[in-house]
A and B are shown apart, each in its own frame.
Chain A
Amino acid sequence: MWLKLYIHYISINIRSMMQYKTSFLLTAIGQFLISFQVFLGIFFMFQRFSNVKGFTYSEVLLCFSIMLLEFSIAEMYARGFDQFSGMVRHGTFDRILVRPQNEILQVLGSKFELTRIGRMLQAIIMFIYGISKSEINWTVSKIFTVFFMLIGGTALFTGLFLIYAALCFFTLEGLEFMNVFTDGAKEYGKYPIGIYGKRMLQFTTFVIPYALVQYYPLLYLLGRKTNIFYVFLPLLAILFLIPCYLLWKWGVHRYQSSGS
């Protein structure tokens, strides 16, 4: 029932976006260009250095591409949370509350950002390049690892977007510093987290579990760790959604209408 409704929401969004085809195309190209310069940055750094803390160019690209893919998928369907501050300020959230449907579903349905496809395209190209160059011995468990990384990472970013939206209940305004955890993670998650040092690794394991979806499974993929435990680590990151959801629920509970 709700899936059907969600698909209906998406189709409305896509159809309305297709009314402005040029603008769609330009934005998609823009998305591509913006992450392309990040790629160029990595490319030129590796012209100079052969590796960073033992990770070669193709391994870094593999890491970056998976992170970028996770982020783009999450941003594509959870963009509604990103623009949620507007909804609270203008009072349109009231309209959502009076409808007999789950609020999260409606907020998700309010925006579907297909333009992120530009970024995903780049991620996929880098992913293919990274795989072909880094000489991974593919096994079933490694394929599952990539799959779980994508699921866990997308869930993690969705959770962060959810926090961003939930905070709007308290502040009415999107909080810029949350960008550190979303855009910042995309930007600096291009390198395996291990290179940032031990403290950063601890923080990203226990506080915001980026390392669970990026660093540890990557080590398994590259054959540096063989414990089967590493395959399932990314799925642990899904637990991060629980506190995010509770925060959101609390926010909805104490929501006072603003705007007119």
Chain B
Amino acid sequence: MQKYLSFFRLRFSMGLQYRTAAFAGVITQFAWGAMGILVYRAFYEVDSTAFPMTFSAVVSYIWMQQAFLAFFTVWMMENEIFDSIINGNISYELCRPIHIYDMWFFRTIANRFSAATLRCFPILVVASFLPKPFGLQPPASLIHFFLFLITLLLGLAVTVSLCILIYSLTFFTISPAGLKILFTSMVEFFSGAVIPLPFFPEKIQKMMELLPFASMQNVALRIYSADMTNRQMFSAVTLQIFWLITLVSCGKKLCSMAEKKVSIQGG
């Protein structure tokens, strides 16, 4: 465990070095969030009764989504890992007395953590000082806030374990391009990154909520904006834990399969 924690520390402090990039990212995400909110306002003004969430819940959803973008975007996969599989550098990692899966897991989490640490605070602070309908609301209660934190971390873990599934599939396909594109656009759509899940027709939404993609950003963002009933929250968290365990065990299995007959590329 200790060695993985030091992997985490290493990657985390490495990630904190890129401050200018983070600043540019904050500005971009801020503009993105603002435009998104304006779109929903336009729809809200047309027909507020057809709105499946309250307007302030949508606003909080969007600001939180932008603040923790680094946690949940799947296109932010680690090219270093893909490269190491393609050019053969993975052989160095395989020689070390570590599990490749655990190492990937901790380094990916650390990278996302550092990126989010740098980016979330400016967005959260500015968004909460915005005038009434456009600002980030405080959480509904202390319990909502704690649940939000827990589901945020669970969602991060689910996202990472899904990414690793793609890393390890690269052992078999060599070129990650196709898989990456397919997964990225699927995840974006089903996880509620394009439009929040409640905006889908009810039947489709019910189905989508069972998929592992809904256990990523959907749960935390909606708990924060108090969009779920107690029962919904309970089943969502259970589902998150279920998908985390399933995805991790699938990934571990796949990794050990790949390790057994890995062919090292490059020279």
Contact = CB atoms under 8 A, between A and B. Distances in A.
Contact of B39 (A30, A37, A195): A195
Contacts of A243: none
Chain B CB within 10 Å, residue with most, of A27, A34, A44, A47: A44
* Contact residues of A: prevailing secondary structure: helix
Given A26-B181, A44-B200, A180-B31, A49 B46 contact: yes
A132 interface: no
Nearest to A192: B42
A44 B32 CA distance: 20
B185 A30 contact: yes
B169 to A, nearest CB: 15
A256 interface: no
Interface size class of B (residues with CB under 8 A): 20 to 34
Nearest to A185: B35
A179 B39 contact: no
Given A44-B199, A45-B199, A180-B27, A52 B42 contact: yes
A1 interface: no
A197 B177 CA distance: 40
Nearest to B37: A196
A191 B38 CA distance: 11
B182 A33 contact: yes
Contacts of A48: 50, 52, 199, 201
Contacts of A29: 181
B45 A53 contact: yes
A33 B181 contact: yes
Interface in A49-82: 49-53
B199 A36 contact: no
Nearest to B39: A191
A177 B43 contact: no
A64 B38 CA distance: 17
A41 B195 CA distance: 6
A27 B177 CA distance: 8
Nearest to B21: A176
B194 interface: yes
Contacts of A175: 24
Interface string B15-34: 00000010011011001100
Interface of B: 21, 24-25, 27-28, 31-32, 35-36, 38-39, 42-43, 45-47, 50, 52, 175, 177-178, 181-182, 184-185, 188-189, 194-195, 199-201, 204
Interface of A: 23, 26-27, 29-30, 33-34, 36-38, 40-41, 44-45, 47-53, 175-177, 179-180, 184, 187-188, 191, 195-197, 200
Given A44-B199, A48-B50, A191-B42, 13 more contacts: A23-B177, A30-B178, A33-B181, A33-B182, A44-B201, A48-B199, A50-B47, A52-B42, A53-B45, A176-B28, A184-B35, A188-B35, A196-B38
13 contacts: A23-B175, A30-B181, A30-B182, A40-B194, A45-B43, A47-B201, A50-B47, A176-B21, A176-B24, A177-B27, A187-B32, A187-B35, A196-B42
